[in-house]
Amino acid sequence: MDVMLLAGTRPEAVKLAPLALALAEHPRLRPLVVHSGQHQGMVEQALAPFGLPVDAWLDTPPRDTGSQAELVSGLLPALDRLLRQVAPAAVVVQGDTTTGLAGALAAFWLGIPVVHLEAGLRTHDLAAPFPEEGTRQMISRIAALHLAPTPGAAAALRAEGVPRQRIAVTGNTVVDAVIAIAERDLPARDTALALLEMEIAEANERLVLVTSHRRESWGEPLSRTLAAIELIVAEHSDVQVLFPVHPNPAVREQVLTALGGTPRVTITEPLEYPDLVRALRLAELVLTDSGGIQEEAPTFGTPVLVLRDVTERREAIEAGCAWLVGTDTGLIADTAAKILRGDLHPTHAGNPYGDGNAAALTVAALEELLDLAPAPRTAAETR
């Protein structure tokens, strides 16, 4: 029985990879990894460290405008054709992307069960993040199985009327992914990261990792963040900043104009996933508006300043792993200073998003959805 795993962006691919590996070991279920083409090249890059290929690409027309409407209008017919051809037992969509929404709609219209990985995240503000909050709420209305990463996410779904029996609390598969990559301890492939790592070790310096890519961060909010980075570097002579920049030309130009040539600031292309994991392990502090990094960093006890006004990942903040600072220049710089001075510490209670067992729990939930007997335990598992 094929289970289609649909991805169009790097975060989707990273979070689907552990599930694909777990399904590949199942006696009756088989993963079918499908690339929507939303971000060309990124899905393949993200899957490669896990030894996973893309099994199928959607046949979509070339995109001219880059709008959401154009993307969806190309994805839906291609998805409909592939789903009719393959007839999978279920379609797994991840998170809150346009690919996920299109996949959920196409499968729902054909009566194929929609499985929502990372379900139940909510800010209850359709404008923040936009359009992701609306996208994930729409997917929730038609999903047959909701894989909630935390009890809080499950509670949010129940409050919206989703039956308890259609919700499984699994943890987040990104924790499975980050643990698997970290255990391999791969050397940096990015030359700038490798050189920076050596420089930090030789000079006994500290690394601050920065990422900012969300639409609501572009323009003036990003300018305030960049000003905070300048303050952090100026006030802490032992700090090196690593900023892998989003490929959007406007964002890249803004970052290079503000920070290009600034001493102790290294600007790179987006890092491959193993390099990002390595940077998270090395970092003394992370500044980010990324949802995934809020989930990944607690695995290494790395404190996170969340560059957003609201976050659907409250668990990291409530657990003392992260602090919500928005894009206020002074608040970012002051909070960073407290952490770098040792006045503010993250808790060491573990990662609130799981312990690396999410893929196994997801497979168990899929078995129940598809009315399969649990996979037989191996001799090693029974010992």
pLDDT of 237-264, one tens digit each?
999 999 999 877 888 899 999 999 899 9
* Structure letter (DSSP) for residue 306: E
The pLDDT-based confidence of 376 (bands split at 50, 70, 90) is low
Report, as an integer, the average pLDDT of 74-90: 97
What tokens appear for 341 in the block? Answer: 């001075």
Tokens of 55: 């099994």
Query: Which pTM value belongs to this model?
Result: 0.91
Percent above pLDDT 70 for the chain: 97
Alpha carbons 383 and 307: distance in angstroms, whole number:
46
* C-alpha span between 381 and 4 (Å, rounded): 27
| Matching fold, domains 2-171+356-370 and 188-341 | yes
Beta strands (DSSP E) in the chain are: 2-7, 30-35, 56-57, 90-94, 114-117, 145-148, 167-169, 206-211, 239-244, 265-268, 285-288, 304-306, 322-324
* Mean per-residue pLDDT of the chain: 93
Confidence of residue 374 (pLDDT cuts 50, 70, 90): low
In this structure, are residues 91 and 83 in contact, taking their beta carbons and an 8 Å threshold? yes
Domain segments of the chain: what residues?
2-171+356-370, 188-341
Active-site annotation, residues:
96, 118, 132, 213, 215, 246
Q: What is the pLDDT of residue 283?
A: 97
Give mean pLDDT, residues 339-367. Answer: 93
Query: Distance (Å, rounded) from C-alpha 173 to C-alpha 92?
Result: 13
For residue 3, list its beta bridge partners: 31, 90
Range with the largest mean pLDDT of 15-24, 209-218, 251-260: 15-24
Instruction: Give the model's confidence band at 66: pLDDT under 50 very low, under 70 low, under 90 confident, else very high.
Output: confident
Q: Are 353 and 97 in contact (CB under 8 A)?
A: no
Residues 285-341: pLDDT tens digits? 999 998 899 999 999 999 999 999 999 999 999 999 999 999 999 999 999 999 999
What's the whole-number mean pLDDT along residues 66-83?
94
* DSSP run (H or E) holding 297: none
Q: For residue 154, give the H/E element and its range.
A: helix 151-159
Sheet holding 30-35, edge to edge: 56-57, 30-35, 2-7, 90-94, 114-117, 145-148, 167-169
* Region for residue 351 given its phi and psi (left: phi exceeds 0; alpha: psi -120 to 50; beta: otherwise): beta
Give the architecture (CATH level 2) of 188-341: 3-Layer(aba) Sandwich (3.40)
What is the amino acid identity at position 138?
M
Q: Residue range 348-368: average pLDDT?
A: 94
Pairing of strands 285-288, 304-306: parallel
Q: Report pLDDT digits (tens) over 98-126.
A: 999 999 999 999 999 999 999 999 999 99
Token pair belonging to 210:
């920065």
Report whether the peptide linkage leading into residue 129 is cis, meaning its omega lies within 30 degrees of zero: yes
Four-residue CA torsion sign, 64, 67, 70, 72: positive
Q: What is the pLDDT of residue 112?
A: 98
* Inter-axis angle of helices 98-109 and 68-86, nearest 10: 40
Torsion of CA 360, 362, 368, 370, to 10 degrees: -110
- Residue 382 is predicted with a pLDDT of 37
Report the topology of domain 2-171+356-370.
Rossmann fold (3.40.50)
Confidence band of 275 (pLDDT split at 50, 70, 90): very high
pLDDT band at 381 (very low <50, low <70, confident <90, very high): very low
Instruction: Select, from the ranges 62-66, 218-222, 336-340, the one with the highest average predicted confidence (pLDDT).
Output: 336-340
More confident residue, 33 or 37: 33
CA 92 to CA 13: how far, in whole Å? 12
Does residue 380 have a pLDDT over 70? no
Q: Residues 169-191: what's their mean pLDDT?
A: 96
